Structures are given as structure tokens and as C-alpha cells.
Structure 1
Amino acid sequence: MAESQLLCLEDGLMPPAVPESRPQFYYSEQQRAALERLITDGDGAFKNLLKDENGQDFLSAREIKTITGTFVKYPSEEDDGANRGSRNDSGSLRSTYWPQMSDTEVPPLDIGWPSSGLFKGVTRVSVFTHPPKENSPHIKEVTRKLIQESCKVVAIVMDLLTDLQILRDLFEASKRGVPVYIVLDDQGAPLFLDMCSRLKVGDRELKNVRTRTVKGVGLNLSVGKIPGNVHSKYMLIDGDKVMFGTYSFSWSSSRMDRNMITVMSGQVVDFYDNDFRQLYAISDKLDLFKVFHISKPQTGTVSRAAVPKRPEAATSRFQVNLGDVKVPAHKYHNPKYLLALGQIPGRTEPLQDFLNKMEPPDPELEPEPEPENPAEELENLTPVPSPPEKKQSKKFKTLTFSTKRWKKGKKDKTSDTVIEESAANPSDDASKHTLPRDETRDTLKKKKRGCGCLFKKS
């Protein structure tokens, strides 16, 4: 109902008439009576009434054809009585004429919606037209790129959505987990369903898609209602971008019509965010699974695991005795202590078995792993401070003496035998590395003295 009509309902208040020359002019009782005459008696009676009251013809030929073709009569008293009886039986009809709350719940945005109310930065604007100007991209290219780059949400309010390429992009976004909300004009919904059936959509495509229909404001008359249309055309991307303009998502609109779109980002997006949620709340559900006879995919519900009970123990003020284990009281009463005991949801086991698993293994019981290359291990050995045996030290001295004489070229046979014996016993190599520091220094000094004598003799 118009605001002027609501003002007339108040007692003792009759607002002054607003002339047509003023911008505040909106409602005219003369035009309402002329519309009723048009619907009941036709175009001739409509024009005669305006002529008798010195009014101007305010409807074009196209509007007259649309109004007479879409007018909906109110249900008769018989139909109304049958509907009332069924509603009274079900108990869904409110007892008051002006209910405090709506009969239906507000539909939730159940598949996700980005948080709003935060500052989104400075508003930035880009304008695109068809045909393109100044080497700018086509408006359909801009639209498809926004959908393909989306990662949080895609929300569309459109009068006509029949473009196959755009529909494929929306269903591909749905398959990769992006929530897609579509609010269509009630008269354009059948055309949308026809194009979806041509694409042969399945449960994977429709899993993250929610579709609803909404009607225009319309005009209520005494004999019926003239419905209205939705001409809002915009698309929200990820809660931080919005595209709006005259472009409808159809093939003819992108190829043959002249259109203009504006892509905006920044704080202005909050206005479109609120407007979309309001339209979504007053819209009617369009269940695509039911229309195309597709079974809904089963989504597993995550149930919270039951918190395990604490082990029974003798408690005191400062300490808790769990059998052989004593635990401080502040740790026992901490919920994190359940994880330390291994009492998490799943297969349970006794406390002592868990504590036995936590003990480090005994190194004497387990054999040490054999090295892959024993030669490298011997080279990397470090000196041990324990004193070696005397036999090993003498053997090392004879080995050093034999090598010296072998270097001089004397007694080759004895030197060769000594070298072969030393190579046959790998324990001798180990003994070289296990010599104490004092003896290694003595052997180095003797070698230096021997080298000095050789140089003097030469």
C-alpha cells in the first residue's frame, strides 16, 4: 500500500493533494480507478473515463497489453472458504490480521556467506559497454572472468538467466566448492529451468547452488492484482565486488542489445549485500533437485565425540594417586591431562599399558644396528681415553719400524709379511685409533727423528 493511502487511514488527517508537477507526486486515485475500468470493461472504457475526468492517458500500448495479459483475479469465496478450512485444520493460519511475526521462517544462507560490516576500502569503479569502447573487453568476458575467479561466494539477482556459457561457469564454480545463490524473476524462472535441462545438470552441479524466485511489488486493486517484475540486475562476487547494469545474462542481450555494466569494489558493496539478503528473505524456494528428480547428496553430519571419564583415583588437596603413578592435582583437573593419559575417543587401554609404552627401550636388550660400510666407520672413530694393552702398542711399534725399513728398500720380504699380517687383523687398525694421546705423540716424534737421520745420511 502506498504511503499516501496509509496516511489517509489515520483519524482526522487528510494530507494535501500533491500536484503532478512536483517530484513527490506518486499515487493518484484517478489512475487507480482508470486501471480498474481497463481490466473490467476494456481499453475503450478506460479512455472514456479519463476523458470525462479531464485526465491524460498515462499508459502506452505495450503497457496496456502487459497489464491485461498478466492480471490475476482474487480467488472466489468458494475457493477462499476451502482454503481457509484446510488452513484451519492444519493450524497454520494466524488468528490476527496483522501478525507480529511472519508465518514462514527466513531462509538461511546455509552454504556460506562472507562476513559483512567490515571496512572494504575506497570505492573503485570500472565501466564496460557493448559494443566495447577504447579496446576494453566485452561485457560477457568481464562477467565470466568474475565468476571463474570467485572463491568465496557468487550471488546473482537477475530477470533472465539463459546464457549457456554463464550457466556452465556457475555450475563449475559450484563443483569446486563455491556457494552460488541465484534469485530470479518469477516470470523468468521457467526459461532458466529449460536451459538447465539442456545442460543435463546432476547432483554434483547442484550441490552448492541455491535458487529462489521473487516477484515485483505489483499493484493491488479491488478486483485483483497486477503483478510486477524484477529488473534488478547485479552480481556479488566474494563479498567485495559487485557488477550491475542493464545487461541480462542471455545470448541476445550480449550479442544484439546495447548494454552497460559497472564493476565496483569498496564500501559501496555493503549496500548490495544487504539488498540481496532482503530479496532472498522474501523470495520463494525453487528446488532444483525436486524439479529435475535428482536425489540430494547425503552430507555426513559431524557429531561431537563424548568426553571420556577421568580414571578413578584417591584424590587429596595437592596430589592424585593413580595406582603406582602420582599426579599433581592441578594437572589431573586440567582437561589436557586426558590427552597425556592417552584417553582420547577411540579404543581404550589400561593406564599401566600406556605408561609402559611411554618408557624408553632398554639399550642392552636391543641389538645395535650393523653399519652399512665398516671401513668408513673405522675411519670416523674418535680416540678413547682408556689405556690400551701393551701387546698392541709393541705391535704398532714393529709395524712402524718395518714400514721405515721398507721405505729404505731393505728387507722387502719382512716388510711385506708385516704389512700382510697387519691387513689380516682389522683389530690392529682399531688399536691404532684407540691409542692414548701420549703414545701417539711419541710415535710422531720418532718418525720425525727418523726422517731427519735419513736426510743427514743423504
Structure 2
Amino acid sequence: LQRGSGDSPGVSGLLRSRLEKLKKLWWRKSIPPVLQHSETARLAMDAFLEQGEPGYLQAIAEEQELPFLSPLDMDYMSQHRSQSIPEPNARKGHETEPKEGDTEDRASLFSELSSGTYFPLMSDVQPPELELGWPVVPLATWYGQTQASVYFQRNKANSIKDLLRCLISRAKTVIAVVMDLFTDMEILCDLMEASSRRHVPVYLILDEKYLKYFIEMCSKMALNKDHFPNMRVRCVSGDTYYSKAGKKFAGQVLEKFVLIDCDHVLAGTYSFTWLCSQVHACLVTHFRGKIVEDFDREFRSLYTESKPVPAFCIPEAGSSPASAHSSAWTFQSLLKSAKPNEAGTASQASSLSNSSIESIKMSPFRKNST
């Protein structure tokens, strides 16, 4: 673990120290980047999750490090942070006061599992299957030389959306999509035509935090799960950060690529929105050949981590199909549940902060309480 020497008077953190050297124009010695994990950054992050911006700035000052978080970073974490370990009095059916040491035991257990790491707890749930089928990777993909063509949205002679729709219309064996934001009705109709008319399996993985916009689009189009018999819609989030005291927040999946027949891949900055097709400056790269295998592997990994969207779950054989009214109700309930919980994110501190396990160095927001 790499951390600044903020405990020593006059010694700056690693990032600040490097910046000060770079500002010296007469300094000729090369200054390589520090690629290791920053313990100072972890301490500052934990302070922010527990005490908000004041705690974060205090930790930065004590470590003599640069304020590396932008306002955009802090707004995101403030909106999406939550408590990973339930409060003792908030547990269902638990009305008595917690016993002495109970809070510390729970925090210790969590610390052993995820303390000092950025990795979520592993799950023993079986990964979902690609039940619609998955084609054999073509020989041209296995052994073919990688080919790449770049398309820029600013070049009106080569429309990215037209290229995408053309590839979808030619798909024969599978269409696999990973997308952050999907609100383009024309592309959804293209996917529906491919799946229901040409019987091409379609797998769609969407970012969980932007899922509500896709559901809202389907609601406007009066669509329900009965209109997606050969399509699977799932959602996924990015990595989850856990603080020492039990706060957490999940990142987003901002990958954007479309895999066609395990032979073509479109990947880049293009989202399935009207703005991207008309005014945003975007680009995509059209890949063929052996590199497609990497996207095939990445899609399978994301699909394993993803979870189903209730509004698009196909009922098992023998169960009664949902009516249009019940499907519409499901869409509306999902839209409501997708809104951020303001009450849950307004808290600036957690009672678990007093039982945070000390590892490597005591969190800065605990120094004044001990």
C-alpha cells in the first residue's frame, strides 16, 4: 500500500509532491507515475462517506494531499451511498437494544470480509444462463486478423446509427448489446423485429442507474414482456466501494458495445439516444477478427453479474401470462423504485463509525472521538 507521509511535518502526499516537482521547470529528472493503491485516497474516501465534504477536506489537510475528488464525484457518491450493514435498531423484528460489543462484532465481521478492499462480497448464486442460445464463434473470429474501422458522428457521410441499424438488420445468430443509456425507439423496434420476426436471439444488458429511462420509453410505447419473447433484458452496475464503517456506493457500467453474430462489434462512445444520433459528437470502432473474442468474453462476464428486470421476465411454462394492465402497473412500480431514496442518502454520518475497525491507520474522522 502506498500512502503519503502526512504524519511527518512538512512532507506532502504523493500526488501533491509529484505536482510540486512538475511545476519546477528547471527539474530535469523524470518523475514516473505512482501506480499502486493509494492509502491516503482510501482514508479520504471513507471520511467523505461518513462525514461528507467537511470530513473529506479534513482528511486531505491532515495527509497534506491534493483534493482529488471533483464536485461531480462528490455529488455522485452523495446521491448513491447507502449502508451495507443494517443499523442494530433497524433490523426487522429487533426491538431490544443491542448488547455491548454487538456493534463491534458486526463491524469486525464485515472488516474481515471487505476491509481495505474495493471488491464486493462473492456470491454463491448460480450465474444466469444464455437460455436463448449462443452461436459457435466463427473461424474468421478465432483465426482472422483483427480489422478495425473508425466512424465519427461529425462525419455526416457515415452515420453511426445507420451503420448500427444495418448490422442489426443483417444479424442471423445473435445480437448482444451492452449500453449505458437506451431511449432510441427506432433501435428498439429494430431489435424487436430481429428477435420476433427473424427469430434472432437478442440479449440486452443495461446500466442499472439509467434503467428507468428504458422502462419509461417502453411504457410510452405500450410495450410489456409479451412483446419480447426472444429477447432478454437485464441490468448491471459497476464495482462497489465499501468503507471501513459500512457505507458503500456502486459505480455504473459505461461500456457501450454491440456484438453481432460473434463476428462484428461496434464499440465506442455512442449511446442509444436521439441526442447521440443528431447532435452529440461520438465515435465508434467497427471490429472484426480475433479481437471480437475479447468482447464475447466481456459480454458473458457482464451477463453473469447482471440481474433480471422484473418487467421483462418471461413467465415459466404453465403460468398465466400477465395482462397489459398488470404489465403497465409493473412498469410504473419500477419507475417509482428507480428514483433515488432521498431520505436514505441525506444522512451525513453513520452510528457504525464509532465501531470502525482500525487497519493500517485510524480513519481521520475517528480521531476526535477517541
TM over 0.5: yes
Larger Rg, first or second structure (1 or 2): 1
Q: Percent identity?
A: 33
Separation of aligned partners in 1, 2:93 and 2:264: 49
Identify the structure with bigger relative contact order (alpha carbons < 8 Å, sequence gap 6+). 2
Looking at structure 2, the residues matched to 103 and 197 of structure 1 have their Cα atoms a distance apart, in angstroms, of 34
3-state SS of 1:210 partner: strand
Q: Are the structure 2 counterparts of residues 294 and 279 from structure 1 closer, same or farther at C-alpha, using a change threshold of 3 Å?
A: farther
Give the Å deviation of 1:65.
1.2
2:165 to 124, 144, 166: 144
TM-score (norm 2): 0.65
Aligned to 2:291: 268
Q: Which amino acid aligns with 1:251?
A: W
Identify the residue that residue 174 of structure 1 maps to in structure 2: 195
CA distance in 1, matches of 2:312, 2:41: 44
Maintained 8 Å contact 1:189/1:213: yes
1:35 maps to which of 37, 40, 45: 45
Deviation at 1:78, TM superposition (A): 4.5
Q: What CA deviation, in whole Å up to 9, does each residue of 1:241-265 have, x standing for no partner?
A: 0000001111122222111101111
- Give yes or no for the alignment of 1:213 onto 2:224: no
> Cα distance, 1:34 vs. partner?
1.3
Q: 1:163 aligns with which of 156, 173, 184?
A: 184
* 1:72-96 Cα distance to aligned partner (Å, 9 max, x none): 122223555769xxxxxxxxxxxxx
Q: CA deviation at 1:62?
A: 1.4
Look up the match of 1:295. Answer: 321
Q: Which one of the candidate residues 189, 192, 202 is aligned to 2:214? A: 192
Question: Per-residue displacement from partner, 1:177-216 (whole Å, max 9, x unpaired)?
Answer: 1101011111011111111121222556300010111111
Q: Identify the match of residue 87 of structure 2 among 56, 67, 76.
A: 76
Change (3 A) 1:268 1:71: same
Where in structure 2 are the equivalents of 1:363-374 lying within 5 Å?
none
Distance verdict in 2 for CA 1:174–1:65, change over 3 Å: same
1:137-188 deviation per Cα after TM superposition (whole angstroms, max 9, x unaligned): 2111111111111111100011111111111111111112110101111101
- What SS does structure 2 have at the residue aligned with 1:188? helix
SS of 2:254's equivalent in the other structure is coil
Cα gap change, 1:225/1:149 in structure 2, threshold over 3 Å: closer, same or farther? same
In structure 2, relative to structure 1, the CA distance for the partners of 1:241 and 1:296 (3 Å cut) is: farther
Contact 1:154 1:180 in 2 (8 A): yes
Q: TM-score, normalised by structure 1?
A: 0.53
Task: Find out whether 1:231 has 2:254 as its counterpart.
Answer: yes
In the other structure, the counterpart of 1:64 is 74
2: CA distance between counterparts of 1:30 and 1:111?
Answer: 47
State the alpha-carbon separation in 1 of the partners of residues 285 and 320 from structure 2: 37
1:246 aligned partner: 269
CA distance in 2, matches of 1:103, 1:42: 34
Aligned to 2:55: 45
Q: AA paired with 1:28?
A: S
Question: Structure 1 residues 204 and 151, CA, compared in 2 at 3 Å: closer, same or farther?
Answer: farther
Per-residue CA distance 1:101-123 (angstroms, 9 max, x = gap): 95311111111111137452222
CA distance in 1, matches of 2:53, 2:266: 41
Instruction: Tell whether the 8 Å contact from 2:232 to 2:312 is kept in structure 1 after alignment.
Output: no
Residues 1:286 and 2:309 aligned together: yes
| Residue identity in the other structure for 1:280 | Y
For 1:203 and 1:50, how far apart are their aligned partners in 2?
A: 50
Q: Is the CA contact 1:175–1:204 (under 8 Å) kept in the aligned structure 2?
A: no
Distance 2:177 2:92 in 1: 39
Residue 150 of structure 2 corresponds to which residue in structure 1? 127
- C-alpha contact 1:233 1:247 (8 A) present in aligned 2: yes
> Does structure 2 retain, via aligned residues, the 8 Å contact 1:174–1:205?
no
2:127 corresponds to which residue? 106
Unaligned runs of 5+ in 1: 6-16, 84-96, 298-458
Is the 1:289–1:295 contact (alpha carbons within 8 Å) kept by the matching residues of 2? no
Runs (4 or more) in structure 1 with deviation over 6 Å come to 17-20, 291-294
Distance of 1:82 and 1:158 partners within structure 2: 40
1:117 and 1:270 in contact (8 A); partners too? no
Aligned pairs, number: 266
Q: Deviations over 1:259-303 (max 9, x none)?
A: 110111111111100110011011111133459999279xxxxxx
Cα distance per residue 1:420-443 (max 9 Å; x no partner)? xxxxxxxxxxxxxxxxxxxxxxxx
Contact 1:159 1:232 in 2 (8 A): yes
